[in-house]
Amino acid sequence: MRFYNRQHKHYCGIDLHAKTMYVCIINQAGETLLHADMKTAPECLARSIAPYREDLVIAVECLFTWYWLADWCTAQGITFVLGHALYMKAIHGGKAKNDRIDSEKIARLLKAGMLPQAYAYPARMRATRDLLRRRMMFTRQRAELSAHIQNTVSQYNLPGLAARTDKKAGRDSIAAHFPDPVVRQMVALALSVIEHLEEELRVLEQDLAMKAKAHDAFAYHLLRSVPGIGRILALVILYEVEDIGRFPTLGQFASYARLVKCAKESAGKKSGYSGKKIGNAYLKWAFSEAAVLFLRGNPDAQKAIARLASKHGKGKALSILAHRLGRAVYVMLRKRQPFDRERFMATL
């Protein structure tokens, strides 16, 4: 957990919503200078903070509406801090909760140096990262439609399909497999949507690869040098990491990617683990997928994982491999060096 602890003359906490925002500004002495509800608009905020612009810092909670405020603060030369929503227990654990109270709590946490920070992703690559995340949603929709067709076969106790729903070859014969005309219409509709999604995803993936090469072609090709990391996984890692320099240590990167367990300990006694859902779920998915793909056509890696599986079990063995791949990617991006297969296998 990182805290923002720089000192300023004025501290501004904003409880930000789509249409309204509650603004609280306090000074170094802790006196409230402004506490007002206003419309969510840059001009309203500019008028309100005008008397307190000298050495001002603005903080908001990490919710979906923060993009415009971060960009506006950057353009205005105002320090912006993004609070980590899962760590801000002073807000969510209060007896009473409303916009007025929340905005003041954010301002006072900021002044006390106790505001837990989230990473304010810069605007240069932010939109492309969001587009890549939407691609994952459409991919899941395509998989759900394919699964629905297979479930319909079982629902009507029909023989198995001769063609695969995820392959274009032979897909035209799938609808005719269902004798009921209404069911056939339903399946044909699902197949039509699948074909449309596939075409859109094909174009989108090509476009995303071109954008990645424009943003950081060297890092993109470095990631592609790892066996098991193809075009999509390289895109996910590149855009979710953004700048490897924001992780001073390997441990911080592994924690952010959910590749390590966080132990709960008090008075020398361990009481299990926590924080499984704190970190970047997309990086966790990418390295887990890379671990499975790394084993394909790699007998040496398969033998190493078999040894780990005999000791820890198959699931933990794959988690260890995902962690090792995460470590390798961190070193590669820090040193700007391609993947060293022999060295990696020696450590595995």
Question: Phi-psi category of 62—alpha, beta or left, where left has phi over 0 and alpha has psi -120 to 50?
Answer: beta
Q: Which phi and psi angles does 243 have, rounded to 5°?
A: -140, 110
pLDDT in tens, 52-73: 999 999 999 998 899 999 999 9
Query: By residue range, what is the domain housing residue 144?
Result: 125-224
Mean pLDDT to the nearest integer, 312-328: 94
The verdict on residue 240 lying in a domain is no
pLDDT at 95 over 90: no
Q: Are residues 277 and 331 in the same domain?
A: yes
Number of domains in the chain: 3
The verdict on residue 239 lying in a domain is no
Of 344, 218, 220, residue with least CA distance to 291: 344
Distance CA 208, CA 135 (A): 10
Q: Is the pTM of this model over 0.75?
A: yes
Convert 41-103 into a string of H (helix), E (strand) and C (coil). Answer: CHHHHHHHHHHHCCCEEEEEECCCCCHHHHHHHHHHCCEEEEECCCCCHHHHCCCCCCHHHHH
Q: Are residues 166 and 79 in the same domain?
A: no
Q: Are residues 271 and 341 in the same domain?
A: yes
pLDDT in tens, 1-54: 789 999 999 999 999 999 999 999 999 999 999 999 999 999 999 999 999 999
pLDDT at 151: 95
The residue that leads in pLDDT, 180 or 167, is 180
Residue 258 pLDDT level (bands cut at 50, 70, 90): very high
Pairing relationship of beta strands 262-266 and 269-274 according to DSSP bridges: antiparallel
pLDDT at 268 over 90: no
Q: Are residues 105 and 9 in the same domain?
A: yes
pLDDT at 86 over 90: no
The verdict on residue 236 lying in a domain is no
Q: Are residues 310 and 336 in the same domain?
A: yes
Q: Which of 85, 105, 120 is the last residue of a domain?
A: 120
Distance CA 307, CA 317 (A): 9
Q: Which phi and psi angles does 276 have, rounded to 5°?
A: -65, -30
